[in-house]
Amino acid sequence: MLEFISRLFGRENSSKDIAKERLRLVLVHDRASISPHMLNQLKEDLIEVISNYMEIDEDALEVNLNQDEREVALIANIPVIKMKRDYSVKG
């Protein structure tokens, strides 16, 4: 996320900023009681389900956890290429 903001404003990331963002992500994962492995599994599951209904850009997909003082939020940025008219649900 910090990388996106830095690109948006044309700044390069300093080592300090990168370390700060990594620490923030570690703290959010700890407070949410979710491991990086579980977050990756969640991302794969989201891709599988959403791909039933729309064509998405999997390489550009981002899934993050954000936390404020009271809650943790799952934020997913999923670029949609196009909707599928006839979707097939695996089952």
Q: Which of 87, 79, 41, 85 is nearest to 58 (CA)?
A: 79
Domain spans of the chain, in order of start: 2-83
**69-82: per-residue pLDDT in tens?**
777 788 889 999 99
Q: Helices 15-32 and 2-9 meet at what angle, rounded to 10?
A: 140
**42-54: per-residue pLDDT in tens?**
888 988 999 999 9
